[in-house]
Amino acid sequence: MDYNHKEIERRWQGHWRENHTFRCVENPDKPKFYVLDMFPYPSGAGLHVGHPLGYIASDIYSRYKRQRGFNVLHPMGYDAYGLPAEQYAIQTGQHPEITTQRNIARYREQLDKIGFAFDWSREIRTCDPEYYKWTQWAFMQMFNSYYDLDENKAMPVSRLAEHFAVRGSEGINPASSKALSFSVDEWNSLSEKEQLERLMNYRIAYQGETMVNWCPELGTVLANDEVSEGLSVRGGYPVEQKLMNQWCLRVSAYAPRLLDDLEKLEWSESLKETQRNWIGRSEGAEMRFPVVGKDFELEIFTTRADTVFGVTFMVLAPESKYVPLLVGEEQRSAVEAYLDEVKHKTERERQIEKKVSGVFTGSYARNPLTGKEIPIYVSDYVLAGYGTGAIMAVPAHDSRDYAFARHFDLPIIPLIEGADVSEESFDAKEGIMTNSCGPELDLNGMQVKEAIAKTKRFISEKGIGHVKTNYRLRDAIFSRQRYWGEPFPVYYKDGTAYLMDESELPLHLPEVDSYLPTETGEPPLGRAKGWHTKDGYPIELCTMPGFAGSSAYYLRYMDPRNNDALVGHEANEYWRNVDLYVGGAEHATGHLIYSRFWNKFLFDLGAVCEPEPFKKLVNQGMIQGRSSFVYRIKDTNTFVSHGLRKQYDTTPIRVDIGFVSNDILDTDAFRAWRPDFKDAEFILEDGRYVCGYAVEKMSKSMFNVVNPDDIVERYGADTLRLYEMFLGPVEQSKPWDTNGIDGVNRFIKKLWNHFVRALDAPQKEASKEELKAIHKLIKKIGSDIESFSFNTSVAAFMIALNELSALKSTSREVMDLFTRVIAPFAPHIAEEFWSLLGHEGSVADAGWPLFNEEYLREDSVKYPVSFNGKARYTIEVPADCSREDVEKAALADAGAEKWLGGKTPRKVIVVPGKIVNIVV
RNA sequence: GCAGAAAUGGUGGAAUGGUAGACACGAGGGACUUAAAAUCCCUUGCCCUUAAAGGGGCGUGUGGGUUCGAGUCCCACUUUCUGUACCA
């Protein structure tokens, strides 16, 4: 009976489907375990061999947990809204829904072949109205909420409005876009429209004029995490800054909680650190500098309050509202020219130039501690969106201020003893203060840290400023001028935004005749006919961004068909949150922040019971492609083998890896590949053409894509699963190398043959050695899975099989145990074994074998004996030997005399079960 | 610049502070075969030594340190990858 993976895998995948083996139901009698993969965006290219890496790892983990008696939730779905389908729709006119459905069908087909234990009855798609109803619902809740900084949670906006009506802005502390203060009378004298406008300043989902990342090429705004180095992450198009009225989410209000709660999570330190940096907490002080000759003050933020004595000028962001108030007549044209120049620079251009630029406003401020007058400048190195949009410049101790001071020839006053500021600034926060004595405050002789604290105390007492913590985390821009996304349940009455009624959800995405913006520059929804409420009010034309649908999907899996709630209370109480989340680290500052924010908001609302969505997170590495190259001699059609290429002047050409096996080129296939290679000549080495290789991103254009279907077809899903794990640690990025797969495939075949032979042979009681081999395996695999070290598990299976083969094991008991232990990794062959062993049902229900320490006990223990740490010989002593006896045995050995050379040992160290070290 | 991770044979990679290189690929040799494929067996970090069995030395990016003992812990440096950046 030969191993026929196609037949076995088809049969068992059918069995799982027909028996709903992996359908899971809430069961209060069983402990739950929620294993989640980041759901994929179904792209047109289908899955390549890198995508399933994380899914295989999580599948092994969830199958293992299930065998250990947990009620495992392991769902899958699709992040179906996305740019590629829309771009494709623009080009072809095909509805993105159709493209998406087709891609999903293809993904499903590919996933099914690998034999995952997903509960497909819980599948969700973000573009499904039954799903996005709850995305829209969450938005409505955010619209109806504000963040109360005293209560430290989201509260109903109605409560805020009631408070305003009774006490005005006094006595309540809401997070806001800009700080406002007004009396009861002022509030009550506002019209409804004006009141709504004012409330917009506090809502968690709010509309605001903000500087946004505008991508003209894509015709839409992008969130900060969708822009990298001034280019859009998708497509790589230039992004510029533009002031636009957009929907935003007040993520910044949650910054302290997002930061603090990181501590509780079992995430990798590097990922937590990335989030900490992104949230960017900095403790400092806000301080006011009076403007000479004007009746207002400039407020700045600084983390270096100690350096006030070294402030020689001030700088405003170009967008600062103070700029027009400070410009003198003489400087007006220069300032305007500068502002104009800055406005037309894209983010990218600003970054590339990195040139010092700026202009004097004509006004001066007074240093509140020294009383000295200092000039006020405008420069784009100060950002409007951070702090107060204005800084006090201390050129001696800040490199940016230093560069600016040098350029404009402004004074530089060193404040730290021994700091040499002739060439560069001294930025370190350490040293002893000097030059820092004023009429009321003396910092001289203090350490920087003390000086900061003292200055903060001083300015608070004097009312010059106050202690302040700033966060870098910005509010998320939530509008996209696109078609393929969730419509906002918002309509406009007289230009004011109103929410629709919850009963009107889901608000379906309308049909349009084209997916491009309208002639007047409105988003594609501007083309939708009848896009208004039944009273004729126009509906919002923007749609929500990609992260809207992916922010709460893990909650929906808990209760995917619930029509009355995002997730029912009971289902949520049972599943709580994700125990293990597996996905790429590239989502560190996007999805993983938004999801945590979204979850916390729902937690404040009382809609979910856990403050964090993902308890443990594992970032699987990327699998890169391994591209193959041939070397064409310039101006010829002759190709030279890799080892000989240096003797010629060659151009490397990527070749489809389908023609290459173990770096040897199939020259006939290569000739047949393209017409211009038809008459190719080859210079061989050892009769073969050896290709070069490079590790690159796996992509069609590099001809290095390996399709999992092909691997499954040729070797079987079990081999693919084991091999992907065998490649190396899940967390690590590594190139795909099909070369090694034969080894794993050989193991599977040997396992099959061993099993079939054992079943045919007459049965014997399992020997001590057999039991030892299998129990060693059980122990090893259990601890490996718990610690996510799947690559060493595969090696352990190979070793165990070798041992059992060598022992000519025929024991059914042993085979039974082996089957259960390998089931999470190679479920198809395990099911087949399970059935051949005469069991009914699925091995997934078989339970995990408990290893018995008794079988692992040795009669004797081998000790390597070292001299000064260098191992020299081995002794064997009975297992129950005492420490002294081991020492005696070590010194009694014939080798001892030789290595001791007649000397007496100074010390003998015996580590039980490990080693004997003799110090001479 | 800043932060995080990493560096081990020809390759992917193993090693709770205790005989470095498990396991696999590749390579070399052999068996079976008319032949090939498949399968099986042996060798495979480097160097020296021996007729052979064997013996010895050196080895985990570099330099220091802690320790009876360091791939593992500490310090400095080099390189690579990842993230992030006029964030005051």
Ramachandran area for residue A34 (φ above 0: left; ψ -120 to 50: alpha; else beta): beta
pTM of the model: 0.92
Could you tell me which of A87, A103, A120 has the C-alpha nearest to residue A16? A120
3-state helix, strand, coil in chain A (%, to 5): 40, 20, 40
**Strand B contacted by A752 CB (< 7 A):** no
- Of A173-187, A228-242, A478-492, A509-523, the range with the lowest mean pLDDT is A228-242
Amino acid A240: pLDDT: 77
Q: Which residue is nearest to nucleotide B5 (CA to C1')?
A: A270
Could you tell me which of A855, A873, A786 has the C-alpha nearest to residue A817? A855
Asked if A906 and A920 count as a contact pair (C-beta separation under 8 A), the reply is yes
Asked if A760 and A733 count as a contact pair (C-beta separation under 8 A), the reply is no
Residue A695 or A407, more confident: A407
Q: Which residue is nearest to nucleotide B69 (CA to C1')?
A: A869
pLDDT band at A351 (very low <50, low <70, confident <90, very high): low
**Strand B contacted by A312 CB (< 7 A):** no
Contacting residues 647-706/A vs strand B (CB within 7 A) = 662
Which nucleotide across the nucleic acid strands is nearest to A686, CA versus C1'? B27
Q: Find the radius of gyration of the CA atoms of chain A.
A: 34
How far: A72 CA to B47 C1' (Å)?
56
**Strand B contacted by A584 CB (< 7 A):** no
pLDDT(A914) > 90: no
**Strand B contacted by A920 CB (< 7 A):** no
Residues 6+ apart with CB under 8 A from A549: A79, A80, A81, A126, A127, A131, A132, A135, A486
Range list of H helices, A381-501: 399-408, 448-462
What mean pLDDT do residues A756-768 have? 87
Which nucleotide across the nucleic acid strands is nearest to A474, CA versus C1'? B87
CA distance between the termini of chain A: 62
What is the rounded distance in angstroms from the CA atom of residue A535 to the CA atom of residue A504? 13
- Tell me the pLDDT of chain A averaged across its residues: 90
Could you tell me which of A406, A454, A108 has the C-alpha nearest to residue A306? A454
pLDDT band at A828 (very low <50, low <70, confident <90, very high): very high
Asked if A704 and A625 count as a contact pair (C-beta separation under 8 A), the reply is yes
What is the rounded distance in angstroms from the CA atom of residue A611 to the CA atom of residue A616? 14
| Burial letters A721-758, b for 16+ CB under 10 A, else e | bbbbbbbebbeebbbbebeebeebbebbbebbebbeeb
**Strand B contacted by A616 CB (< 7 A):** no
Amino acid A348: pLDDT: 59
Q: Report how far apart, in Å, the C-alpha atoms of A33 and of each of A456, A705, A778 are.
A: 49, 35, 21
Amino acid A58: pLDDT: 95
Q: Which residue is nearest to nucleotide B12 (CA to C1')?
A: A727
SS3 of A347, please? helix
How far: A340 CA to B9 C1' (Å)?
62
String of DSSP letters for A130-163 = HHHHHHHHHHHHHHTEEEETTTTEEEEHHHHHHH
Contacting residues 334-373/A vs strand B (CB within 7 A) = 350-351, 353-355, 357
- Of A267-276, A338-347, A407-416, the range with the lowest mean pLDDT is A338-347
What is the rounded distance in angstroms from the CA atom of residue A258 to the CA atom of residue A268? 16
Q: Which residue is nearest to nucleotide B13 (CA to C1')?
A: A728
Asked if A155 and A145 count as a contact pair (C-beta separation under 8 A), the reply is yes
| Burial letters A658-691, b for 16+ CB under 10 A, else e | bbbeebebebeebbebeeebeebeeeeeeeebbb
pLDDT(A352) > 80: no
Most confident range (mean pLDDT) of A47-61, A130-144, A898-912 is: A130-144
- Which DSSP category does A512 fall into? -
SS3 of A115, please? coil
pLDDT band at A593 (very low <50, low <70, confident <90, very high): very high
Q: What residue has token string 């490199």?
A: A399
**Strand B contacted by A919 CB (< 7 A):** yes
What mean pLDDT do residues A786-798 have? 93
Amino acid A347: pLDDT: 60
pLDDT(A605) > 90: yes
| Burial letters A773-792, b for 16+ CB under 10 A, else e | bbbbbbbbbbebbeebbbbe
Beta strand A313-316 with A373-378 is: parallel
What mean pLDDT do residues A42-54 have? 90
Q: Give nucleotides in strand B with any atom < 7 A to a protein C-beta.
A: 3-5, 11-16, 18-20, 22-27, 39-40, 56, 68-70, 81-88
How far: A884 CA to B39 C1' (Å)?
51
**Strand B contacted by A727 CB (< 7 A):** yes
If one counts every other C-beta atom within 10 angstroms of the C-beta of residue A393, the result is 27
**Strand B contacted by A82 CB (< 7 A):** no
How far: A686 CA to B37 C1' (Å)?
21
How far: A898 CA to B19 C1' (Å)?
18
**Strand B contacted by A68 CB (< 7 A):** no
Contacting residues 119-138/A vs strand B (CB within 7 A) = none
Could you tell me which of A751, A852, A849, A855 has the C-alpha nearest to residue A809? A751
ipTM: 0.94
